[in-house]
Every structure is written in C-alpha cells, then in structure tokens.
Chain A
Amino acid sequence: MNLSKNIYILVLFALFGCKETVPPFEPVELDPKVVLHFSVVNNGEVIEIGDNFTDADNWNLTLKTLKFYLADIALVSGSEETALSEVELVDLSGSEATNFNRSYTYIIPKGEYNQLKMSIGLPGDLNATDPTTMPADDPLSLQGGMYWDWATMFVFVMMEAGIDTNFDAAMDANIAFHIGLDTLFRPEQSYPMTFDIPAYAKDTLFVDVDWNMIYHPMEGTPIDLSTTPFFHANVDEEALAASRVFTDNFIKSIDIRKQ
C-alpha cells in the first residue's frame, strides 16, 4: 500500500514538475546591481550641498537644496526595458541613513544597456497621492518635504541656493525654484549611454545635473538670476513661463556618465 502511494506521488511530481512556464525575470542577489548616483556639476566639477561656487555667468552661489522626483525609471536594452522604480525622490542632502538619498541601487539582468529612461516629476495619479496615507520611507510621504498642501500636489523639482547679488562675496539673497503642477510633468525622457554589466557585478551610473545648463545654456533660453531670484511655478503667468523654461532646461541639463 505504502509502495503504491509513493509511486503515485512520484508520478505526480514527474507529470507536474515539467509543466512550469518560464517565469518573468525576478531579481536575486546574484544578479548585477546598478547604482544611480545623482550630483550637481558646475563647469565639470561636482558641487555638494553647502559648497560655494562661481557659475558660468560669474554668479557667486552656495548650493542649498536639490530635490526632485523621477518616475518610471528604466534601463533600455534595444527594445527591451528593465523597470528600476516607479518613483524616487532624489535628495542631494540625503545619505544611506535617510529615507531619501542621492544614490539608489537596483538589481538588473546582466547585459548591455543603451539608454536610461525616466520621467521628470510625477504623473497625475501619483501627483494626487494623499501623503498622510504613505509610510515614512515612501517618496510620496510628508517626510519628503515636497508636498504643496494648498494645492494637494507635489513640488517636482526644488532647487535652492544662496546668491551674492552685489559681488562682495557674501550670500545676501536666496534663489528658490519650486517647480510643480501636472502641466510641467515631462514623461519618458531618454538619455542615451552605453552600459555593459556582467553577472555578479556592481556598477555605478553617475547622473549629473549641470547647473549652467539650467540657468545659462549655450542653446535654449537662459534664466536670469538677477531678475528671477525666487519663484514658484504657480504665482503668475511670468512664473509659469519661467517654470517651463526651468523644466525644459532641467531635462537637458541631465547627463549620464560611467566615471
């Protein structure tokens, strides 16, 4: 009786053990990891929060804040996309000890990638999130410090700096760009690059935001820091126009490098 029962179980295993379909890619620790590391650069030099620097238009500045949302981040290999994250809050003042960081690590399949794809800001459904229902480590929680409470939406990009307006080496004013609103969401921006990662490896892609490409681009519309020292996206039509310029320049200011 026991023998026939065992044979029956073995037959079941034999029959159903082979019927598994090929599962979708599920990351495990043996797969390679890619780190996206975000920085601000000025004339090719990385600027940290609190650093003083002189930009391409000869403004003396101190970087105080850079935080921004990225959505639908993916690495592209030909026609294949590997999704990295639905949404991240990049915070240059963050660290591994804080909820929101300047570096995010993702497990990906080994292979060659030729594009980093991401949306700047938040799509409408995420922008309508109730932050009080989100856990503290979620990018859309109040802990992110990006919620526009009066409008129940999120700031997409928050960039703040001290500025020396009378060229006496003292930071006597602040510039603050708080950019949001659904109309300023910029979906599916593509950043071509070449990235080859073997199994078991961990490699970093450096994502640079070029200060001068935002404010003093060689091509496109510059932002005059002497006349637009402080604005939110929604104060008036002039601010909205400047916000569009900022957003478009911000997208172009992003560059991906390996080292």
Chain B
Amino acid sequence: MKYLLYSVLFIAIMGCDEAAEEVNEDLLAYRSIAGLEMDIPANNPTSIQKMRLGARLFFEPLLSRDSSVSCGSCHLKKYAFSDTVAFSGGVGDKHAARNSPSLVNVGYLPHLMAEGGVKTLELQVIAPLENEDEMDLGVLEACKRLNSVPYYQDFFQRVWGDSATPFTLTRSLAAFERTIVGGSSDYDRFLTGDSAALSSNARKGMDLFFSERLSCKTCHDGPLFTNFEMQNNGLDEEYADNGLFRLSLDAKDKGKFKVPSLRNVSKTYPYMHDGRFRHLEEVIDHYSSGGQSHPNKHAAIRGFKISQEERNQLVAFLESLTDQEYQ
C-alpha cells in the first residue's frame, strides 16, 4: 500500500519530462583527473542521456524495498558522495555493515567494495540493491518497479530502446557514477602552477605527507592518493570483519582492506571500513602510534613522532585535497 501510494505520488511529481532534465546537470560532465584514463566497458559506452537516467536512478528511493532509501541516501553529494555516520541507514531500522566510501573518482578504481571483489561499477551496482541491510530489493524487483512507472518506461525506451532490465539498470547507474570525478582541489591548482593555491601550513603538511618519516605515500600515492592495493593498517589484533580474507580465505589476507583515496578526505568522515574515527586527528593518532599488533600489518605502519604543529600542517594539507564542489 505504501509502495502504491508512493508510486502515485511519484508519477504525479515526476511525470513531466522537464523535471527529469533538471537532474544534477553539474554532475554530467566528465573531467580528466591528472591524466588518468577511465576504463569504460565496451558494452556500456558513454552517453549524456544514459548518465541522466543513471543520475535519476541514483537518487530514486523506489529502488529500496520500502522506498525509504536511494543510493544517494548513503552517498551524499555534499560529503563527496559519502556519509557522515559510521554505518548508513538501510531499509527499516537496518544499517550497512561497513562505512559508505566516497564515490568521487570511483570510475578510476580497478576494484570495488572493501575487499576488492568487484571489478566493474556495473556489477557493483547489484550489491547494495540486493543487500538485505541496505536496499534489500534486488535487481529483478527493481526492474519490475521501474517498468511499472510510465516515466521510467519512457526514459528507458529513449535511452536504451528497451525496458529496465538487469543490464540497462546496472549500466545506467554505472554510467552516472563515472561522471563523479574530482580534480578541482587547491592541491590540483597548486600542481598546475598556482603556487598561492596552498597555504604555508598546507605546503608544510604536504612535505610531511610525502616524507619518509610518516610514509603516508607508501599506500596513499598517485593522482588519487591510493596505490589501489589491499592492506592491513593495524586497526585491530583480531578483526570482526576480516576484509579480503572473506574472498581469498588466505590467512595472510586477514584484516586487509582496499586502500582508500584521500581526495576529499576532510569531507568523507568517519574513517576506516567501520567508521571508527570521526576526525582526521584521530587517524593521525592511529598511524603515529603504530597501530595494533597484527601479523599482516603493513611494514609502513611503524609509528612516528609528530608535534601538534605538524599535525595541524598535515590536516591543512589533507583539507587542500577537497574539490571545489564539496568545499
């Protein structure tokens, strides 16, 4: 009954094509970031109309069992498409099992999900739709719902010449997610020659970040500040969530998680796979302490001494990685 009422309301509000065209136009333009090449699957070539459809679907609560949450509920644009709570709310009173990662630059990532088991955005889309703690609807049911709404019937036909199917739904959402690209931060402006883009504090923080003493760059290197590897950063002696081990069942992978990008990091709190740290200072404390003892802990997590002034400088640099649209 709730779904029916929602559908009627939805059709009344969104039945007009003009409303559809207003969806997040600012997100629809691709930007290259530091020369990185985005790997776009051959069976999902880019089109503006497809991205528009994907954008609409991304913010569509019909895609959750009780029509209460959309992808955009846990990936808030304001926070660089991440969430501000440790575990985002799903359908009913359920919560996701892991912290919502930022989706900025997600199209550049070679593997997705915290244990890195998903290789394409098209397949990643399936996971939250199916997860009973998140959207709990399933791709097949989602397609049925969309195909019962004239607005989407028409939209899918225009974009795909087909109805909503597992193929067209996942491709549309993935096409939109590839448009969420950063690269407009103060740090980027600094790299292109604007020496005034970084404050004195941020520049000192940058030197610290790339120093051997702190070794941040061992894992957070490259244009996206990630080496894309799976690493154990010494959070626990025993992990409740063993990350990559779930997939490989190799004891050497216990506690290993995807190294996240640090772009927009000041907006993507809380931190770590379980959102245990709310502030960047807590993260710095963790790494300066050397973390917990674990046989798989990365060798670079060995602790370091850092003054309060240096902490402030490091935080200033991390804040300079925030893209303009999220500042």
Once the chains bind, are A237 and B170 in contact (CB under 8 Å)? no
Contact B126 A234 (CB under 8 A): no
- Given contacts A234-B249, A237-B249, whether A132 and B117 have CB atoms under 8 Å apart is no
Are A150 and B117 in touch, CB under 8 angstroms?
yes
Asked if B123 CB lies within 8 Å of chain A CBs, one says yes
- Cα–Cα, bound, A143→B117 (Å): 21
A-B interface, 10 closest residue pairs, ranked by CB to CB distance from nearest: A132-B166, A149-B126, A151-B117, A149-B127, A132-B167, A234-B246, A132-B170, A149-B130, A240-B249, A142-B166
**Do B249 and A131 touch across chains, with their CB atoms under 8 A apart?**
no
Is A219 in contact with chain B by the CB < 8 A criterion?
no
CA distance A152 to B120 in the complex (A): 10
Interface residues of A in 140-182 (CB under 8 A from B): 141-143, 147, 149-152, 181
Q: Is the CB of A235 within 8 A of B246?
A: yes
- In the complex, A6 has a CB within 8 A of chain B: no
Q: Is A227 in contact with chain B by the CB < 8 A criterion?
A: no
Instruction: Flag whether A236 is at the interface (Cβ < 8 A).
Output: yes
Q: A2 at interface (Cβ–Cβ under 8 A)? A: no
Asked whether A183 is an interface residue with its Cβ less than 8 Å from the other chain, the reply is yes
Contacts of B120 in A (CB 8 A): 130
* Interface assignment of A259: CB less than 8 Å from any CB of chain B: no
A152 partner, pick from B119, B166, B167, B251, beta carbons under 8 A: B119
Q: Give the residues from 42 to 56 in chain B that come closer than 8 angstroms, CB to CB, to chain A.
A: 43
Residue pair A143, B123 in contact (C-beta under 8 Å): no
How many Å from the CB of B241 to the closest CB on chain A? 10
Tell me the bound Cα distance from A237 to B127 in angstroms: 24
Pairs A–B under 8 Å by Cβ, sample size 14: A132-B166, A132-B171, A133-B43, A141-B166, A143-B140, A149-B130, A150-B131, A151-B117, A151-B118, A152-B118, A152-B119, A183-B249, A237-B251, A240-B249
Q: Whole-angstrom distance from the CB of B258 to the nearest CB of chain A?
A: 13
User: Bound complex: CA of A235 vs CA of B251, how far in Å?
Assistant: 12
Nearest B residue (CB) for A150: B127
Chain B interface residue bracket vs A: 20 to 34
Task: Report how far A235 CA is from B113 CA in the complex, Å.
Answer: 16
Question: In whole angstroms, how far apart are the Cα atoms of A151 and B127 in the complex?
Answer: 9
Collect the chain B residues with CB atoms within 8 Å of residue A142's CB: 126, 138-140, 166
Using a CB–CB cutoff of 8 Å, the interface residues on chain A facing chain B are: 130-133, 141-143, 147, 149-152, 181, 183, 234-237, 240
The minimal Cβ–Cβ distance linking A251 to chain B, given in whole angstroms, is 20
B242 located at the interface, meaning its Cβ lies under 8 Å from any Cβ of chain A in the complex: yes
**B306 in the interface, Cβ–Cβ < 8 Å?**
no
Q: Is B122 among interface residues, defined by CB-CB distance under 8 A? A: yes
The smallest C-beta distance from A25 to any residue of chain B, in angstroms, reads: 35
- Tell me whether A149 and B249 are in contact (CB under 8 A): no
B168 to A, closest residue via Cβ: A132
Q: Is the CB of B126 within 8 A of A147?
A: yes
Within the assembled complex, what's the spacing in Å between the Cα atoms of A152 and B242?
A: 18
What is B's interface to A at a CB cutoff of 8 Å?
43, 113, 115, 117-120, 122-123, 126-127, 130-131, 138-140, 165-167, 170-171, 242, 245-247, 249, 251
Report the Cα distance A183→B249, complex, angstroms: 10
Instruction: From the candidates B123, B140, B251, name the one contacting A149 in the complex (CB within 8 A).
Output: B123
In the complex, chain B residues whose CB is within 8 Å of the CB of A141: 166
Are A236 and B242 closer than 8 Å at their CB atoms? Answer: yes
Q: Known interface pairs A147-B126, A234-B246, A237-B249. Does A133 touch B167 (Cβ–Cβ under 8 Å)? A: yes
Other A-B contacts than A234-B246, A237-B249, 16 sampled, CB-CB below 8 A, are A132-B123, A132-B126, A132-B165, A141-B166, A142-B139, A147-B126, A149-B130, A150-B127, A150-B131, A151-B115, A151-B118, A151-B247, A234-B247, A235-B246, A236-B242, A237-B251
Q: How far is the CB of B97 from chain A (nearest CB, A)?
A: 10
Residues of A within 8 A of B251 (CB): 237
> In whole Å, how far is B240's beta carbon from the nearest beta carbon of chain A?
11
Nearest B residue to A132 by beta-carbon distance? B166
Q: From B123, B165, B245, give the contact of A130 (CB < 8 A).
A: B123
> Whole-angstrom distance between the alpha carbons of A149 and B142 in the complex?
15
Cα distance, A183 to B117, chains bound together (Å) = 15
Known: A131-B166, A181-B249, A234-B247. A152 touches B123 (CB 8 A): yes
Bound Cα distance from A143 to B167, whole angstroms: 13
**Contact at B139–A132, with CB atoms within 8 Å?**
yes
Q: Which of B122, B131, B138 contacts A132 (CB 8 A)?
A: B122
Residues on A with C-beta less than 8 A from B167 are: 132-133
Q: A198 vs B232: C-alpha distance in the bound complex, in angstroms?
A: 63
- List of B residues within 8 angstroms of A234 by Cβ: 246-247, 249
Chain A residues with CB under 8 A of B170 = 132
Q: Which residue of A lies closest to B114 (CB)?
A: A150
A141 to B122, CA, bound (A): 15
Nearest B residue to A151, CB-CB = B117
A237 vs B251: C-alpha distance in the bound complex, in angstroms?
8
- A130, B190: Cα distance in complex, Å: 42
